[in-house]
Amino acid sequence: MAQILAPSTQWQMRITKPSQNASPITSKMWSSLVLRPNKKVGATSSAKFRVMAIKSDNSTINRLEQLLNLDVSPYTDKIIAEYIWIGGTGIDVRSKSRTIPRPVEHPSELPKWNYDGSSTGQAPGEDSEVILYPQAIFKDPFRGGNNILVICDSYTPQGEPIPTNKRHKAAEIFSNPKVQAEVPWYGIEQEYTLLQTNVKWPLGWPTGGYPGPQGPYYCGAGADKSFGRDISDAHYKACLYAGINISGTNGEVMPGQWEYQVGPSVGIEAGDHIWCSRYILERITEQAGVVLSLDPKPIEGDWNGAGCHTNYSTKSMREDGGFEVIKKAILNLSLRHVDHISAYGEGNERRLTGKHETASIDTFSWGVANRGCSIRVGRDTEKNGKGYLEDRRPASNMDPYVVTGLLAETTLLWEPTLEAEALAAQKLALKKQVYYWSSVESVPFPLENQAQPLTHSVMFMYSNHATATFCFPSTFLPLPTTIASIPKTFLPTLSSPKPLFSLRTPTPIPIRAAASSNSADNNGNANWTKWVPAGSLAADKVLRLIAGATASPIGQFVSSPTTFLHSIDPRVKLVWLLALVILPARSHIIMQFGLVAYLTLISVWVLPREVWMDQLGRVYLLSALLFITLGLGADGVPPLVQLRTPTPALMGLPNLPVSLTEFLPSKHCETTEHFDDSDFREFGSAFLLKVFQSASLCLTTTTPEQLAFALRWFLLPLKYIGVSVSEIVLTLLLSLRFISLVFDEVRNIALGIVSRRVNWKQLSTMETIDIFFNYFRRIFKNIFSHAEQISQAMIARGFKGDSGDHKLYFLAESSFGMADIVCLLFLTIIIGAAFLSEYYLV
């Protein structure tokens, strides 16, 4: 008999029993690719794996495993070819299988094939046939043997590339003789995020909560720092088996995020290898029960995004003197910054913010060893005078065919205008002075031809003291490429005020130089403008805001990090909450704001940064709105006295001076006090903030089950007078649990619409409204469906209930400890001091 073990978390799910005649990615190979689970744990153990069933060697599962791992190569010459192509969104991979009569060694030996383009969003229904052209082959790590994976691009039946076929244009660029002579190398760093299947939340993160801040996760090891290593290692080995030029892998800065590197690859091969590696990763995460995300900013807030940094070099860059060629390439890249950004991945504006090791999307920058720049040059490259550059702008969902082709085109084939190149050199601080002469003859020193040309029409002048670019009118072009030495006697002349030359000052362009540091200056533009929906993209903006909303709304329990507030008995928390809200109701304004400051400090201390910023921001905004609203309207009080005070004429007093009302003595009425509207505004806003933030702080650090237990403990005496305590507690628990379900449903459905890449520009107003109508209808449908499953969710959270007489049982009840005694002692001291203080009463 064999035990079939299943993990308690879906992403770890795998078959562990070895089988005979196993080919690559069989159960035997999986045991070497991933960690083997501990088979000695029992069904009641707290370990990750538990026994699900007992199956014999002749069971259906065992026979299915044998068929999946069956190697047919000894029995037939036929092989299975998995044709892979890019779908209609531009980032999804599709595939289907075909039997080939014999093994092949080159894509040209494979037949063309077709698929239904209307089902992938790449062709209309009345003419849906799209033709697949095999372009590259790799060994199949899932079927093994002689079976292969085939990277294809898509064409119409007439032989024209369809719009999503980006490989065709890239192949044209790389077939250019100038590009082929430079042998462009690429090293691509593909970052990706692993998400939990059901909640679309990063792997290893508490559902609806956040882990500790970034820092220990990058290249980290340990169960609390590394999440998904088995998937990364399995992918690494599968790519090596397939023949992909993968060169490494590592955990990234954000937990649940990983990176692998492909390269160095030459020309079009870089795109082929990246797409095949993405397909293999999709298949492995499919088997592991995990969702692969290439979103450039999967989690909003103080978390790193996901990029696809592209390292690039040419033959001239790798040879002696290559550093100057790299500078020339950077200059060209700066002039086409907008073109590159528009082709570097969708949603990249959410990632390129100038924070989290990124440059601002609006500004081009470069620097040595600076990861906050658009282009980074390594220290070794600067030291050796040759090497490569790193383009840090591409997003994780970029098309490698587009990025690699565009880099080659911009640096090797594209020629900027003379003035633009000269001005960009100044802006990028490439240590060049730019001068303009009316003719070659007017240059006041001789020009000497050198062996190494740099660029046509521009002559770079070198000496120990100065480097200059000399530009001439178009009537004198083309000029031979010339390098000249500037005589030292001429150096003072360059800075002389005499009109030896005319210096032109074209309109500045947004290019800046960056220092060699680990941070970059943020763009001065207002950041709030990017959140304002505008034009046809308003619907997309709204859905992205909903999908990217924080997963910790006010009142939702945050499980990590665990603080002292988590360990306090929930009954003590309720007593504190009651005291903070009720006792200072008539306290002096100084005490009111003192409590506000106290709640703010304790929230910042015990809660994760993302949580307290979100919660305090909302509560402070609400209090500020109340403060402003109360100040705009009248409070119903006359300018001098309360309504019950007699008029001055009735009292026999002259007209009183206008003042902020104080105590008014009168022989006709007793003393009255007046509260001016500023006092009322301050009291109301402070009281509102105390109520909301203290309740939120209690809910954030206490599970719904703990709150239900505490409330039940206080309400038990009411049971003897006929109050249905169990039903009250059950209703409270259901409500608290339902809040997170509703929020997750709203966010996940919005995320599903965003991930489909809807082209909102082509939709009419009614079609957009229809999408939102179906969005809300789907929300309500799923909420009602979740309502039927709440009882199972409560049991999983440690709650049991008998439907007959509504008896409640808690698996673990709270108990008093030292922290609870200290809290009660401090509460007693504060209440006593408040009663004795003059600031307690108004």
Query: First and final CA of the chain: distance in angstroms?
Result: 79
pLDDT at 228 over 80: yes
pLDDT at 34 over 70: no
Q: Which of 60-74, 153-167, 249-263 has the lowest mean pLDDT?
A: 60-74
Candidates 138, 328, 85, 391; CA nearest to 246 is 138
Q: For a pLDDT cut of 90, what percent of the chain falls above it? A: 32
Whether the CB-CB separation of 252 and 163 falls below 8 Å is answered with no
User: Looking at residues 642-647, what average pLDDT do you find?
Assistant: 51
Q: 411: burial class by Cβ within 10 Å (0-12, 13-18, 19+)?
A: buried
User: Looking at residues 717-745, what average pLDDT do you find?
Assistant: 68
pLDDT in tens, 343-382: 999 999 999 988 888 998 988 888 888 888 999 999 999 9
Q: What is the DSSP letter of 435?
A: E
CATH superfamily, region 79-164 = Glutamine synthetase, N-terminal domain (3.10.20.70)
pLDDT at 765 over 70: yes
Q: Give the Cα separation of 196 and 293 in Å (integer).
A: 10
What band does 537 get if pLDDT is binned at 50, 70 and 90? Answer: low
- DSSP assignment of 740-805, as one string? HHHHHHHHHHHHHHHHTT--GGGS-HHHHHHHHHHHHHHHHHHHHHHHTTHHHHHHHTTEEEETTT
* Model confidence pTM above 0.85: no
pLDDT at 842 over 70: no
Starting from the edge strand earliest in sequence, which strands make up the sheet with 93-100, in order?
93-100, 79-86, 148-155, 129-139, 113-116
What band does 677 get if pLDDT is binned at 50, 70 and 90? Answer: low
pLDDT at 608 over 80: no
Residue 796: the pLDDT is 56
Q: Give the Cα separation of 257 and 245 in Å (integer).
A: 21
- Cis check: omega of the bond before 648, within 30 degrees of 0: no
- In the numeric block, which tokens belong to residue 19? 């089988």
Q: Give the Cα separation of 463 and 455 in Å (integer).
A: 18
Q: Give the Cα separation of 749 and 546 in Å (integer).
A: 9
Candidates 809, 748, 814; CA nearest to 779 is 748
Candidates 390, 231, 758; CA nearest to 547 is 758
Phi, psi dihedrals of residue 610, rounded to the nearest 5°: -65, -35
Residue 46: the pLDDT is 36
Residue 113's CB: how many other CB atoms inside 10 A?
17
How much is the mean pLDDT over the chain? 71
Q: Give the Cα separation of 638 and 635 in Å (integer).
A: 9
pLDDT at 536 over 80: no
**Where along the chain do its domains lie?**
2-68, 79-164, 178-205+217-413, 425-494, 538-557+704-811, 564-638+678-702+815-842
Residue 358's CB: how many other CB atoms inside 10 A?
23
Whether the CB-CB separation of 217 and 255 falls below 8 Å is answered with yes
Whether the CB-CB separation of 285 and 231 falls below 8 Å is answered with yes
Which is more confident, 424 or 389?
389
Q: Give the Cα separation of 11 and 645 in Å (integer).
A: 74
Residue 717: the pLDDT is 78
Q: What is the DSSP letter of 228?
A: S
Residues 6+ away with beta carbon under 8 Å from 473: 438, 439
pLDDT at 405 over 90: yes
Sign of the CA dihedral 698, 702, 703, 704? Answer: negative
User: Looking at residues 600-627, what average pLDDT do you find?
Assistant: 71
Contacts 24+ apart (CB under 8 A), 663-672: 664/640, 669/644, 669/645, 672/641, 672/642, 672/644, 672/645
Residue with tokens 């304002």: 532
Q: Which of 451-465, 547-561, 687-701, 716-730 has the lowest mean pLDDT?
A: 451-465
Q: 481: burial class by Cβ within 10 Å (0-12, 13-18, 19+)?
A: middle
H-type alpha helices, 183-321:
229-242, 269-288, 315-318
Whether the CB-CB separation of 790 and 738 falls below 8 Å is answered with yes
Candidates 219, 166, 195; CA nearest to 294 is 195
Q: For a pLDDT cut of 70, what percent of the chain falls above it? A: 54
Which is more confident, 829 or 1?
829
Q: Give the Cα separation of 432 and 662 in Å (integer).
A: 74
CA atoms within 13 A on the CB side of 834: 24
Q: Give the 3-state secondary structure of residue 431.
A: coil
Q: Which of 111-115, 185-189, 200-204 has the lowest mean pLDDT?
A: 200-204
**Correct CATH for 178-205+217-413 of 3.30.70.980, 1.10.40.30, 3.30.590.10, 3.30.200.20:** 3.30.590.10
